[in-house]
């Protein structure tokens, strides 16, 4: 386990020593602040509209960070050939997969924490109260969802050679699930038979990332989720992530590594 943590530590160091992370963060921060400073509309509808946009930005930024960070991990190790001294140590390929996953997930967690903290401070300062429970639930579920995304990007980085094509495909898949995932069963109902089964199977196979999107809770003063639901959602994500990581390990295990 120490090995996995050591590997994760390198991923996190890389994230905060690269500049793109700060660019994205500053961008989101500036937008959030700008919107927070708009005072001339004292209309609550506009306030919640602005919060909506902020949260959307946070979602996009977090996805960008999670996917791009993960997608380049193993390809960069191979390109810079650091994978060779690494695997010459008493490190198994399974530990490399686990370490990269943990590092990327924690790194996106850190980024997410910063984003939410910022959002929380700004919106609390505007509204003088914050639905803490809902806020924490949204943060937690968001992070749990990113575990699936990181697992997907890690698996993708072993399937597709170029990190950029992997990142693009991951984006399309994740956005597709987020936007269409919940409607697929209705779509299936409208299809003729062979297609209907196909669409239904897709509906049951895909990880339903859209379930983790509980931004509405923060926008419209809904009550928080039941804790059992949070737990179930966490378990569901855990199972999907484990399957993706298993797939990544199986692919990586037999891969010959030459220049």
Ligand X SMILES: Nc1ncnc2c1ncn2[C@@H]1O[C@H](COP(=O)(O)OP(=O)(O)OP(=O)(O)O)[C@@H](O)[C@H]1O
**Rounded distance, CA 193 to CA 89, Å?**
54
Look at the chain and count its residues. 259
Nearest distance in Å: CB 259, other proteins: 8
Considering the rule CB under 8 A, would residue 253 count as an interface residue with other proteins? no
Residue least distant from ligand X (Cβ): 258
Pick what 204 binds: ligand X, other proteins, none; C-beta below 5 to 8 Å, kind-dependent.
none
In terms of Cα–Cα distance, which of 213, 225, 207, 210 is closest to 142? Answer: 213
- Quote the least distance from Cβ 7 to other proteins, whole Å: 8
Which one of residues 27, 56, 82, 117 is an interface residue with other proteins (CB under 8 A)?
82
Q: CB-based burial of residue 161 (10 Å sphere; 0-12 exposed, 13-18 middle, 19+ buried)?
A: exposed
Provide the minimum distance between the beta carbon of 84 and ligand X in the complex, in angstroms, as a whole number: 12
For residue 137, the tally of other CB atoms under 10 A from its CB is 21
In sequence order, the 6+-apart residues with CB closer than 8 A to the CB of 121 are: none
DSSP 224: P
Distance CA 66, CA 158 (A): 16
- Least distance between ligand X and beta carbon 78 (Å): 11
92 close to 175: Cβ distance less than 8 angstroms = no
Task: Return all residues near 65 (Cβ < 8 A) that are at least 6 apart.
Answer: 15, 21, 24, 107, 108, 111
Chosen residue from 29, 31, 60, 91 binding other proteins by CB under 8 A:
91
Which residue stretch of 58-66, 82-90, 207-215, 230-238 sits at the interface with other proteins (rule: CB under 8 A)?
82-90
Binding mask 102-141 for other proteins (x = CB under 8 A): ----------------------------------------
Question: What does 17 interact with, of other proteins, ligand X, none (CB < 5 to 8 A by kind)?
Answer: other proteins
Q: Which residues bind ligand X (CB under 6 A)?
A: 258-259
**Stretch touching other proteins by CB under 8 A, among 62-70, 74-82, 100-108, 238-246:** 74-82
Residue ranges that bind other proteins, judged by CB under 8 A: 2-3, 6, 9-10, 13-14, 17-18, 80-82, 84-92, 256-258
């Amino acid at each position: 386990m120490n090995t996995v943590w050591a590997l994760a530590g390198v991923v996190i160091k890389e994230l905060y020593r690269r500049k793109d992370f700060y660019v994205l963060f500053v961008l989101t921060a500036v937008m959030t602040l700008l919107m927070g400073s708009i005072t001339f509309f004292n209309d609550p509808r506009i306030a919640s509209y602005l919060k909506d946009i902020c949260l959307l930005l946070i979602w996009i930024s977090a996805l960008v960070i999670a996917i791009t960070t993960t997608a380049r991990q193993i390809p960069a190790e191979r390109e810079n050939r650091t994978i060779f001294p690494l695997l010459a140590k008493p490190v198994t390929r399974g530990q490399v997969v686990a370490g990269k996953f943990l590092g990327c997930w924690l790194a996106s967690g850190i980024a997410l924490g910063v984003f939410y903290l910022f959002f929380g401070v700004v919106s609390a300062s505007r509204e003088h109260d914050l639905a803490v429970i809902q806020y924490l639930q949204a943060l937690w579920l968001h992070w749990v969802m990113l575990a699936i995304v990181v697992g997907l990007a890690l698996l993708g980085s072993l399937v597709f050679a170029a990190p950029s094509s992997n990142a693009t495909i991951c984006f399309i898949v994740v956005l597709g699930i987020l936007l269409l995932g919940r409607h697929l069963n209705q779509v299936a109902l409208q299809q003729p038979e062979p297609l209907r089964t196909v669409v239904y199977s897709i509906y049951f196979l895909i990880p339903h990332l859209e379930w983790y999107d509980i931004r509405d809770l923060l926008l419209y003063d809904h009550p928080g989720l039941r804790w059992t639901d949070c737990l179930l959602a966490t378990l569901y994500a855990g199972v999907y992530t484990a399957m993706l990581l298993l797939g990544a390990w199986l692919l990586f295990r037999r891969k010959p590594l030459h220049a």
